Amino acid sequence: MKGYVYYSKGESKRNRAFIDDLMEESRKFGIELLLLVDDEQPEPDANFILFRDRDTKRAKKFEMEGFRLFNRAEVNRIANDKLRTFELATLLGIPAVPTKAIRAVEEIDTYPCVLKTVDGHGGDEVFLCTVEADAETFFTQFHNRKLIVQPFIESGARDVRVFMIGKEVVGAVKRTGNDSFKSNYTLGGSVEKYTLSSWQEKDATTIAQAIKSDYVGIDFLLLPDGRWLLNEIEDPVGARSLYVTHDFSVAGKLMGYINGKISE
């Protein structure tokens, strides 16, 4: 069996350790896994492409050429649009951070609020605005992007990222921000292993089943009263926080899942 893992060139360098782990684990299943970057074209006899990018158009192109993608282009489209993610949660009846599209500062009803680009990731392009001047700065910086506004919700800069492979929860981490309302591990936040309750696991599983994802991270804000709110779906999701809090190879579980799906 032969497959590819696709990254942009820049991300392939940043994620070299994970790529190496994927390749090592692939060999245990008799899979030849090759790295594909930027505009390189896969060989037509490949069994699959593990797509690790946010370029939905490229994902659709691979699918139209007949390649099996993990994740599907449709998962990429929903996960990388925060407004579509909110709309999905609403349809599924899962509590989520209220989100609406915004085109002008005058449309903001109350402060503080959080402004985001609809397709940003990793905590970038997310701003807490306490006064109108903050919002004006954000609009000036991202005037050519689709924007959303959310109310600022006090969570103690804590959230939970749930890692899903297929319909299975493979791990969860609680992330806490460091001198910031953002909890992202790559921005200096701390992480610890987190055990989901049955209702929390049900929420995460419901989302993964609805979008038919293969490997995603689902982020929920933790509220002081014990509830949580869906914030974002991450595709592709980075596994650094999972590796430092759990004692298994994420790459091994992922390649085992892919091997099973291709062999069905």
Instruction: Average the pLDDT over 190-215 and give the result.
Output: 97
Tell me the one-letter amino acid at 117.
T
Asked whether the domain spanning 100-151 has the same topology as the one spanning 78-95+155-256, the reply is: no
Question: 168: closest CA among 231, 253, 262?
Answer: 253
Dig out the tokens for 150 from the structure: 């959310």
Dig out the tokens for 18 from the structure: 């994970």
**pLDDT tens by residue, 83-96:** 999 999 999 999 99
Question: 31: closest CA among 1, 68, 11, 60?
Answer: 1
pLDDT of 189 reads 74
Chain centroid offset of residue 95 CA: 18
Dihedral of CA atoms 20, 23, 28, 29 in degrees, nearest 10, equals 150
Q: CA-CA distance, 110 to 176, in Å (whole number)?
A: 26
**2.40.30.200, 3.40.50.300, 3.30.420.40, 3.30.470.20: which CATH number matches 78-95+155-256?**
3.30.470.20
pTM of the entire predicted model:
0.92
Q: Is the dihedral of CA 22, 24, 29, 34 positive or negative?
A: positive
Domain boundaries along the sequence of the chain: 2-70, 78-95+155-256, 100-151
**pLDDT tens by residue, 101-126:** 999 999 999 999 999 999 988 777 89
On whether the CB atoms of residues 222 and 154 are closer than 8 A, the answer is no
Q: CA-CA distance, 132 to 126, in Å (whole number)?
A: 16
Q: Which residues pair with 190 in a beta bridge?
A: 176
**3.30.1540, 1.25.40, 1.10.150, 3.30.1490: which CATH number matches 100-151?**
3.30.1490
**Band of residue 231 on the pLDDT scale cut at 50, 70, 90:** very high
